[in-house]
Structure 1
Amino acid sequence: MNIQEMELMNILKCHSYKRQRDLSEVSGYSLGKVNSMLKSLTEQEYLDEKLHLTEKARQLYEMHRPKQAIILAAGSGMRMVPINVEVPKGMLEVKNEPLIERIICQLREIQVTDIKIVVGFMKEQYEYLIDKYNVILVFNEHYATRNNLYSLAKVKECLENAYIIPCDIWCEESPFSSFELYSWYMVNEQEDEESMIKINRKRELRTVGEMENGNRMIGIAYVCTEEARRLKKKIEEMTGYKRYNHVFWEEAAFVQDRMLFYPKVVSSQKVFEINTLEELRDLDENSDQLNSELLDIISNTLSCDLKEIVEIEALKKGMTNRSFRFRCKNKRYIMRIPGEGTGEMINRSQEYNVYQVVGKEGICDPVCYINPDNGYKITEFLENARVCDPMNPRDVKRCMDYLREVHQKRFEVEHTFDIFLQIEQYESYWKGEKSIYRDYIETKNKMYELKRYIDSQEKEWTLTHIDAVPDNFLFVNDRIYLIDWEYAGMQDPHVDVAMFAIYSMYDRDKVEELIDAYFENHCPEEVRTKIYCYIAVCGFLWSNWCEYKRICGVEFGEYSLRQYRYAKEYYKIAKERISHE
């Protein structure tokens, strides 16, 4: 039985059509095609002479009857900024009803009550559903670092005769049925350049070519037994490799260039995927989630109506914060939202005081709003800006000249950034866990050896950026801005040179060039040795920082490993230089 015949069977199950012409009008197939399919279905004994379903057909429907459902609700929905800071995307309300509750109720209407919800981000907000609907919550501990392939892997034993549903879908009419005949994946009629699949002439879902647009992928699927077994096997294979950490589950549903499922096409006016605040606003301008604290802050700061806040888009997730860009009154801005674990790591009141100093001097990007309690910040978006290229000597020289000028202004604040105190503090955040490095204690003791040398050196104490890395130097036309002062405090300014080096992952030759650029080829040897010490201890500092972030579910890959290597390698270099002084 082919897809067209199965679609015709579904029509006949719902309605008792007697005339082929009526079936042609309802199905969209030509009269000749309908007659041919009816003949084939009769010969296969799925229909009798009166076009009624036979016992064989009823058994086939029973074999494929929906038995369970999986709702994928683990992700943070970064594109839903700023709402995603306050609620998980499955709890967005449309017409006074949470998205996930609407999905659950539509499933229960067809007697599908075995419902598993894979949760992660703000998982606690889904807990009440256990009592209200008797659902099962499954926790995906990798929700922050991996895509939804891993969510589906958590419930891979529950794929047979199951619906797979993303939680950020709103369907005007229920997309579910008490009977199914084949595995399908839902798309709509719109073209989408981000889609990986397209319906071909054989009514199959195939991968798009490099220059093609695909059909808009909705994400809802129904999986019958045979396809469930194949999908499960593919998921097990893929989740064994890191290269699949960031893929969607749909990639496991392909055999070469063809999807395991047939297409189910719905109207773009019937099913809505809600990825952004503006999509939510278009669907329900009275949604409670539009009464967002963050939107109110923007509105009050910029003296604008909420509807004037448009073109909201999440920016790449940074190491410390989440940020999103938006437009208001023909001008673009960036709002920063502190990330996981930053409440312990950064004193926002101290950061506020730093911005009161550097903001007045025009050194950083223009700050419109900063909250000293929670760290929310709004800055003007600098159009046509680019970051420093650490491999471009001219860029590096300009940054070092600018950094030196900032240091020479001798700004002062009331707090310091004590590197060794921070090392101990970050370590305390591990909450009793041991370091992942076997020789951590030995390496830590070596850092304290270097501390004795650092403490013995003369220093010029001034406001130091601490995070003066290439990405925080913005080139805008003929001037430079130094942004993101959240770690700043009183310290030896030469720490900033060390920080630039380790973030750029420089080798020793590049470090030498960097020091020469900052000191204009006049760096005293004892200062050079001190900077090598800073490279070691700051590498150790950020390694500790990365270990804490790892506990919070954020992984930095090579960056964290390289920071630990800086600690060990530059300890040797510094000790050798010290011994010759």
Structure 2
Amino acid sequence: MIKKNAIILAAGKSNRFAPFTYEKPKGLFRVKGEILVERQIEQLREAGVEDICIVVGYMKEKFFYLEDKYGVKLIINNTFASKGNIVSLYAAREYLGNTFICCADHYYPENPFMDDNKDNVSYRLCSYKMGKFREFEVDCSDAGVITGSYIGGHDAYAMVGQAYFNEGFSKTFRMLLEREIDDFGVASMFWEEFYAKHEKQLTLYCKKVNDSAVLEFDSVNDLRRFDSEFLMNVDSEIVTNICKVLGCKPEEINDINVIQAGLTNVSFCFTVNGAKYVYRHPGGTSGNIVNRKSEVYTQTKAKEIGADKTLIYIDEEGWKISHFVENIMECDFEKYPDQLDKAMEYLRAVHEVEVSENAEVKHYDLVSEALRLMKLACATKGNLFVEFADIINKVTKLGEYVKEDMDKYGMKYTLCHNDVYEPNFLATSDGGFYLIDWEFGGINDPASDICGMLCRYYYTDEQIEFYLKKFFGRELTYEEHRHYIAFIPICGFYFFCWSLYKGSAGEEDGFFFLQCYRTCNRFLDKAIASYESEQ
């Protein structure tokens, strides 16, 4: 009897299952009372397959218990986020023999490994799918051999579920893979694409099964149609939080859809008993740039003064539940002057908030904070302090000048939003207007709010003067004008460093990255000269 083994691919993140995949990998979801990957392991063992490898990557440590529980071998793929799953097979290539190739998040109602493959041929399960699909469409010969495969298709047979490689297939596949893994584009492929590239050298049969033989859940709502109790058994802090705040049961949570994979967080909307809400889940690197106690304080104050009436509950761990805002329209201060007027009104109201002495609110020094973020970014981007030494020296000098203004001219530090720009305002067609996302809220120079907006877009000198006057509601004094113009390059430098840090962590670094750098350079020398001309 031929001894068979299995390789289970479990490295991916499964973004379509956010937010729950921010807590655990999809392969560890509990469905119909069983953990998906554990169900597969047990089905393999039932079929006599004891030698099982699992390739892990995303939240890999959550799979470690499987070695003790089942005696499987874990293989780590740390490039899962930037490469295709061919790299997972490459990591496990020495285990290719008479091998089942599986995905950890598939669900088989009946054991598919108890097959009748008497001739030990290599095959891929395929089922007929109506309409458009994302899987690989296949063409087959009269003998059942796959003669063509293409990403995506419609009204055709598609690759689904596990594959099986016999020893001869595995030997050739491994030889080709080792020879070409470093060729351009290969590491970004699905393993099915790599096979298709070598179809003439690799004979793979099409093993046809009913569409119900393999379940590949595409979304949380799709999974819940199969397992109505999924949310009750998902062991999710997110579900627990929602139920606690809204006083509902897990089964009453419906229509879950990700609406923003943000620069710092992920947000999703959902309904409970017909009402629509938004849950904000903190992102992986947010702890390095967000003070959650300060956010809770400023977010709460924003609700009290009417700047953000969406808030229902915010927690110091970083999660938040808000009302969903309907009828959102474009927020454009150039096109809609009334929006700008309201925005400036909100900022002035925030700056007038009396902050109690015992409040746990972060005090910002944008130059120091920027340099801290740059230092973190150096871990992957090299010595940025050498590369940007000239700008650092100038910004540091300018930072001292603007600090001196505070006592010299009676300027006051106030409660600030610290992340003001159009995307953080919500306007509605029925006149609603909100200033949202208070993650960076804290005590700062009030110039940081208006200048944080002016540094992220290209504004002419005339537009800048217009915005400053709108912000003050009057003409600025000479000292105020000099101070606020100086704060534009300081804010530009801060958000430039913020973007450096985000990029160093492999996350979206913001559309304003380059513009902030340009703005900093545009105003830096002029601002310094305005102070030094009086010395």
Would the TM-score normalized by the shorter structure come out above 0.5?
yes
Deviation, 1:230, is 4.9
Deviation string 1:200-256 (CA, Å, 9 cap, x unpaired) is: 57565543789x566666353334334555566665435478xx5xx7554444449
Partner residue of 1:378 out of 321, 335, 339: 321
Give the corresponding residue for 2:334. 393
Deviation, 1:527, is 4.8
Give the corresponding residue for 2:103. 166
Where do residues 152-163 of structure 1 align in structure 2 (5 Å cutoff)? Answer: 152-155=89-92, 162-163=99-100
Q: Aligned letter for 1:405? A: E
Q: Aligned letter for 2:369? A: Q
Query: In the alignment, is the contact (CA less than 8 A) between 1:308 and 1:329 conserved in 2?
Result: yes
Q: Aligned letter for 1:519? A: K
Deviation, 1:336, is 0.6
Q: Aligned letter for 1:237? A: D
Where do residues 160-199 of structure 1 align in structure 2 (5 Å cutoff)? Answer: 162-176=99-113, 177=115, 179=117, 181-191=120-130, 193-195=132-134, 197-199=136-138
Residue segments in structure 1 that go unaligned for 5+ positions in a row: 1-61
Give the corresponding residue for 2:268. 324
Give the corresponding residue for 2:467. 517
When structure 1 is superposed on structure 2, of 539-548 and 153-162 the one drifting more is: 153-162
Deviation string 1:486-522 (CA, Å, 9 cap, x unpaired) is: 111232333223322444xx3353x752552352495
Query: Distance in 1 between the 2:83 and 2:308 partners?
Result: 34
Partner residue of 2:401 out of 453, 462, 480: 453
User: 1:485 aligned to 2:438?
Assistant: yes
Query: Distance in 1 between the 2:40 and 2:367 partners?
Result: 52
Query: Distance in 2 between the 1:429 and 1:294 partners?
Result: 29
Deviation, 1:538, is 2.8
Structure possessing the higher radius of gyration over alpha carbons: 1
Partner residue of 1:405 out of 340, 345, 356: 345
When structure 1 is superposed on structure 2, of 183-192 and 448-457 the one drifting more is: 183-192
Query: Distance in 1 between the 2:83 and 2:512 partners?
Result: 18
Give the corresponding residue for 2:44. 107
Using the size of structure 2 for normalisation, the TM-score is 0.80
The 1:114–1:378 alpha-carbon spacing in structure 2 relative to 1, beyond 3 Å, is: same
Give the corresponding residue for 1:556. 509
The 1:213–1:567 alpha-carbon spacing in structure 2 relative to 1, beyond 3 Å, is: farther
Where do residues 569-580 of structure 1 align in structure 2 (5 Å cutoff)? Answer: 569-576=522-529, 578=531
Deviation, 1:340, is 1.0
Query: Distance in 1 between the 2:138 and 2:158 partners?
Result: 11
Partner residue of 1:338 out of 262, 271, 282: 282
Deviation, 1:484, is 0.5
The 1:87–1:433 alpha-carbon spacing in structure 2 relative to 1, beyond 3 Å, is: closer
Q: Aligned letter for 1:169? A: H
What is the identity percentage for the equivalent residue pairs of Structure 1 and Structure 2? 30
Where do residues 172-571 of structure 1 align in structure 2 (5 Å cutoff)? Answer: 172-176=109-113, 177=115, 179=117, 181-191=120-130, 193-195=132-134, 197-200=136-139, 202=141, 204-207=147-150, 212=154, 218=160, 220-223=162-165, 224-225=169-170, 226-227=172-173, 229-230=175-176, 236-239=182-185, 244=188, 248-255=190-197, 263-286=206-229, 289-364=233-308, 366-371=310-315, 373-386=316-329, 388=331, 393-395=334-336, 397-409=337-349, 410-413=352-355, 414=359, 415=361, 416-426=363-373, 435-437=382-384, 438-457=386-405, 458=409, 459=411, 461-477=413-429, 478-503=431-456, 506-507=457-458, 509=460, 513-520=463-470, 527=480, 529-550=482-503, 552-554=505-507, 556=509, 560=513, 563-564=516-517, 566-571=519-524
Query: In the alignment, is the contact (CA less than 8 A) between 1:324 and 1:336 conserved in 2?
Result: yes
Deviation, 1:168, is 1.0
Query: Distance in 2 between the 1:469 and 1:489 partners?
Result: 16
State the aligned residue count: 506
Cα RMSD after superposing both structures = 3.9
Query: Distance in 2 between the 1:66 and 1:573 partners?
Result: 76
Query: Distance in 1 between the 2:423 and 2:527 partners?
Result: 27
Partner residue of 1:76 out of 6, 10, 13: 13
Deviation, 1:125, is 1.4
Give the corresponding residue for 1:130. 67
Q: Aligned letter for 2:458? A: D
User: 1:98 aligned to 2:35?
Assistant: yes
Q: Aligned letter for 1:418? A: D
Deviation, 1:406, is 1.2
Residue segments in structure 2 that go unaligned for 5+ positions in a row: none
Query: In the alignment, is the contact (CA less than 8 A) between 2:499 and 2:510 conserved in 1?
Result: no
Query: Distance in 2 between the 1:107 and 1:285 partners?
Result: 26
Query: Distance in 1 between the 2:486 and 2:91 partners?
Result: 46
Query: Distance in 2 between the 1:488 and 1:480 partners?
Result: 19
Query: Distance in 1 between the 2:377 and 2:217 partners?
Result: 37
Deviation string 1:57-83 (CA, Å, 9 cap, x unpaired) is: xxxxx9xx7854332222333333443
Using the size of structure 1 for normalisation, the TM-score is 0.74
| SS of the residue 2:256 aligns to | strand
| SS of the residue 2:509 aligns to | coil
| SS of the residue 2:443 aligns to | strand
Deviation, 1:317, is 1.6
